[in-house]
Amino acid sequence: MPLALAARVLPLLPLQVLLNICLGEIRSRHPRIFDRLGSNTGKRYGLEPTDLPIAFVLEPRRMNPRITVVRSLPSNLDARIAGPLSALIGMTDGSYDGDALFFSRDIHVDGDMEAVVALRNAIDDSRVDFLSESVLWLGPLAAPIERILRSIVGSPSAREEMGVGRGG
Amino acid sequence: MELICPAGTPSALRDAVAAGADAVYCGFADETNARNFPGLNFSRSEMAESIAHAHQAGVKVLVAINTFARAGAVNIWHSAVDDAVDAGADAVIVADVGVMDYVARTHPQQRLHVSVQAAAANPDAIRFYVDRFNAKRVVLPRVLSVPEIAAIGKEVNCETEVFIFGGLCVMEEGRCSLSSYATGKSPNMDGVCSPASHIQYREENGMLVSRLGEFTINKFAAGEAAAYPTLCKGRYQTSEGSGYLFEDPTSLDATTMLPELKNAGVCALKIEGRQRGRAYIERVVRTFRQALRALDAGQPIPTDELRGLSEGQSTTTGAYKKTWR
């Protein structure tokens, strides 16, 4: 997977800067996410794409949400969600049902389940399209970059072969 | 037959409407509804906006106020009824006789449905709700065979609604105390079965271990389909071996029973799953809309389309056929 190779060899700081710009944009466009998270805005979530050599720590604080890119997740997390990148992204854009991904064992969760359920429901309601919205700031380059990202992450048919397609 | 679809969020409601629901059921973000999960459900303003959206598309909205009112705090349930009526709900779905009485006295024009949580499983019980509170529809508990449903339909003067897809309870709807025993919270009083705050998952020697409160519910081998950590669907060790003592982790799928349910005089078909994501809502609603079109056209109905969305990735016709042990 080219993305895995890139993540292994490239420095993480530029990616982290880009992701935090995207997170700020998502915060301004989807304020209802934070309403639905309620007291869970203070939680620390570990997001672990199992097909990448990096992971993310998400702190969805209402005023200053933050995402940190790490080589491995720290231990001081409230909850962890792990699974193929396509499954994690598919849950954010409504392609996949989180419960079905859990039943099929495509994703793994542990830690504070109340925090996990709140995040899942908040994201699902928001209709945030992570890939699309994370490149909006690129202006005219957004569309082609989004197409490239989607091809890297995996198409729905590829996800079907992974066993997650039947889930949603 | 009407297709009654779940929605846990305004976005899910919009997807259910777009996918072909005749009516959507949903609830407020508090203990008055039996899916009181973190991050789920509707604020008062979201409910009003969502009902307006559904009505523009010709779709009804049924508001579930289907937990049992707590002594000393019944005003929470009363205000939920008032706000559902103000928001333009096409019906309120109620389980508690006290709340039903409030609806009948305070909002006599409001259409009232008897929730599955009321466990009205015989004509006498149903007639009581119809006669005393002017209930127009009863959601039948998932304990009845199709001939029993047909027999009830002939004896009562109200519409009948049955579940056709989704999670199953252990045939004690509205009376189950398992979750309360393990966690102190129950679907009947708090709107939560196996609350997320009491659930733990961990990997142990390659197995997924699920726990609820102090109880180990299940251990899933690598690659084995997982299930919700509810006590009723736990796999327990006994002196005679381990197994599912109460109920297998499986979802109801009554697709093959649609012709028989129609012949039984059922008025409405309900899909369970307000706690599920938009992907589930859209796909299940669309699949059953297509099935009902095929049924009306006298064409074969595609079956087993939704196994991947099911708990334990397996399905059953449940009590409708009563083929289990």
Token digits of residue B74: 């019944």
Residue B279 near chain A (CB below 8 Å) = yes
What is d(CA B10, CA A162) in angstroms, rounded to the nearest whole number?
Answer: 30
Statement: residue A156 has pLDDT above 50: no
State residue B240's pLDDT score.
87
Statement: residue A165 has pLDDT above 50: no
Chain segment B96-143, per-residue pLDDT in tens: 999 999 999 999 999 999 999 999 999 999 999 999 999 999 999 998
Asked which of A80-84, A96-100, B278-282, B283-287 is least confident by mean pLDDT, the reply is: A96-100
The CATH H-level (homologous superfamily) assignment of domain B2-168+250-320 is Aldolase class I (3.20.20.70)
Nearby residues of B58 by Cβ (< 8 Å), 6 or more positions away: none
What are the extents of the domains in chain B? 2-168+250-320, 178-244
Nearby residues of B190 by Cβ (< 8 Å), 6 or more positions away: B31, B36, B67
Q: Quickly list H helices, B164-219.
A: 178-183
State residue A92's pLDDT score.
86
Nearest beta carbon to residue B201 from set A95, A99, A110: A110
Nearest Cα to Cα of residue B199 among A87, A118, A166, A75 = A118
Does A168 sit within 8 Å of B309, measured CB to CB?
Answer: yes
State residue A83's pLDDT score.
94
Chain segment B151-209, per-residue pLDDT in tens: 999 999 999 999 999 988 876 777 888 898 999 988 888 888 899 999 999 988 889 99
Q: Which of A33, A50, A92, A113 to mutate to test the interface with B (most CBs of B within 10 A)?
A: A113
CB A98 within 8 A of CB A166: no
User: How close, in Å, is residue A79 to chain B by CA atoms?
Assistant: 11
Statement: residue A1 has pLDDT above 80: no
What is d(CA B167, CA B199) in angstroms, rounded to the nearest whole number?
Answer: 18
Identify the CATH class of A2-167. Answer: alpha beta
State residue B79's pLDDT score.
98
User: How close, in Å, is residue A69 to chain B by CA atoms?
Assistant: 24
- What is the interface pTM, i.e. ipTM, of the complex? 0.91
